[in-house]
Amino acid sequence: MKNSKLLTAFNSKPLKLSNRVVMAPMTRCRAVGNTPNDIMVTYYALRAETGLIITEGVSPSKNGLGYPNIPAIYSDEQTAGWRKVSDAVHAKGGKIFLQIMHTGRIAHVLNLPKGGEVVGPSPIPAAGEIFTIEGMKAKAIPREMTKQDIEKTQNEYLRAAQNAIKAGFDGIEIHAANGYLPNQFLDKGSNRRNDEYGGSIENRCRFVLELTQKIVNAIGNEKTAIRISPLGQFNDMTVYEDINKTYNYLVEQLNSMDIAYLHLARMSNAISEEFLEGLASKFKGIVIFNGGYGYDLASAEKILSKNNRYLVSIAMPFVSNPDFIERIKLDAELNEVDESTLYTLGEEGYITYPILENSLI
């Protein structure tokens, strides 16, 4: 792609990246025993030419492991496993943030390790079924979190963030998008609490803002980032009457923390570009646009041309094209994704996609 802004270096405090392409977080369910392994090291290292990699969602606790074979970062063994991933990416000149994901009510007890429990802001199950080792099952009814649970969970995130820094990551991204625990607190459908964590906009945003502030205090604002999905309905999130105001308030409050970036997840092209761009213009720091902006490289270029502090994240094409950056440079054809191996165990469909001949990776 000639004269592509996507491929130019990015330097806006606190991120210095070799290009403006971000690999969006993608759960791939390869972490047997919830611990990173060698094929995960290979998978991420193969993609190190990307400006910034954001890892798949990584759980801060047993309760956050709602899907089978997703990774965690609460134990020393898990932290040591992640060290190998960040070292391999850094050895090739890449940058990598770890996404902290707590699944909350998007879970089934069959998927949780011993001692894990399905929790959420209110005892309201999400609609639909979830994949388990015994096939598809209805999503669990979560136990309503007490205030003690809330504090404990926030502290688990905080420790996970500290572990990620110990494991050599350039920073962490709080997954407050796509219907997982922090998003469950923001949403009026999943949060029916009557205490200071439910009801008003300020109350529904409290869990996320307290959490972000605690992590900023522990590892620093320049290493703390957040992903939100304004107006998204994935995982049974709802569109309620003051949803725009909720996200405007959240972004205003995040501004005062001066975090590394704001990542706007977009799982559907139906979500208003105008609203997302309005939120981005309110945010004072770096903004990563996702979904629809990246699939079609022309729209990625268009959004990048609007502001020098914008980046674009791309998910699916990275599944089947480890050398995606090389392919953009050369206008090369892309490998198609085999959806049947997105979440299966082992190497097939994970580190077996072909790279271009003469590729440098």
Ligand X SMILES: Cc1cc2nc3c(=O)[nH]c(=O)nc-3n(C[C@H](O)[C@H](O)[C@H](O)COP(=O)(O)O)c2cc1C
Cross-strand bridge partners of residue 131: 136
Amino acid at 48: A
By CB under 6 A, name the one of 295, 338, 351, 356 that touches ligand X. Answer: 295
Asked if 162 and 79 count as a contact pair (C-beta separation under 8 A), the reply is: no
Write the CA distances from 36 to 73, 263, 352, integer angstroms: 9, 24, 18
Amino acid at 201: I
- Tell me: does residue 323 bind ligand X (CB under 6 A): no
- Tell me: does residue 291 bind ligand X (CB under 6 A): yes
Environment class of 94 (CB within 10 Å of its CB; exposed 0-12, middle 13-18, buried 19+): buried
Contact segment (CB under 6 A) with ligand X among 123-131, 174-182, 200-208, 243-251 equals 174-182
> Which CB sits closer to ligand X, 198 or 315?
315
**What share of residues in the chain are helix, strand, coil (percent, to 5)?**
35, 15, 45
- The alpha carbon dihedral of 156, 158, 164, 169 has a sign of positive
Q: Which of 43, 67, 180, 350 is catalytic?
A: 180
φ and ψ of 141, to 5 deg: -85, 115
User: Rounded to 10 degrees, what is the CA torsion of 96, 6, 316, 358?
Assistant: -80
What's the min distance (Å) between Cβ of 175 and ligand X?
5
By CB under 6 A, name the one of 36, 51, 57, 142 that touches ligand X. Answer: 57
Asked if 192 and 124 count as a contact pair (C-beta separation under 8 A), the reply is: yes
Environment class of 256 (CB within 10 Å of its CB; exposed 0-12, middle 13-18, buried 19+): exposed
Nearest CA to 66 out of 105, 100, 40, 124 is that of 105
- Tell me: does residue 186 bind ligand X (CB under 6 A): no
- Tell me: does residue 212 bind ligand X (CB under 6 A): no
Query: What is the total count of residues that contact ligand X (CB under 6 A)?
Result: 22
Say whether 180 is catalytic.
yes
> Which CB sits closer to ligand X, 15 or 22?
22
CA–CA separation, 260 and 223 (whole Å): 6
By CB under 6 A, name the one of 183, 290, 321, 335 that touches ligand X. Answer: 290
- Tell me: does residue 179 bind ligand X (CB under 6 A): no
What's the min distance (Å) between Cβ of 289 and ligand X?
10
- Tell me: does residue 315 bind ligand X (CB under 6 A): yes
What's the min distance (Å) between Cβ of 312 and ligand X?
9
- Tell me: does residue 279 bind ligand X (CB under 6 A): no
- Tell me: does residue 27 bind ligand X (CB under 6 A): yes
What's the min distance (Å) between Cβ of 241 and ligand X?
26
What's the min distance (Å) between Cβ of 316 and ligand X?
4
Nearest CA to 30 out of 40, 20, 45, 21 is that of 40
What's the min distance (Å) between Cβ of 27 and ligand X?
4
Provide the mask over 90-119, with x wherever binding to ligand X is found by CB under 6 A and - wherever it is not. Answer: ---------x-x------------------
Q: What is the DSSP letter of 311?
A: E
Question: What is the contact surface with ligand X in residues (CB under 6 A)?
Answer: 24-27, 56-57, 99, 101, 175, 177-178, 227, 265, 267, 290-291, 294-295, 314-316, 342
Residues assigned a catalytic role? 180
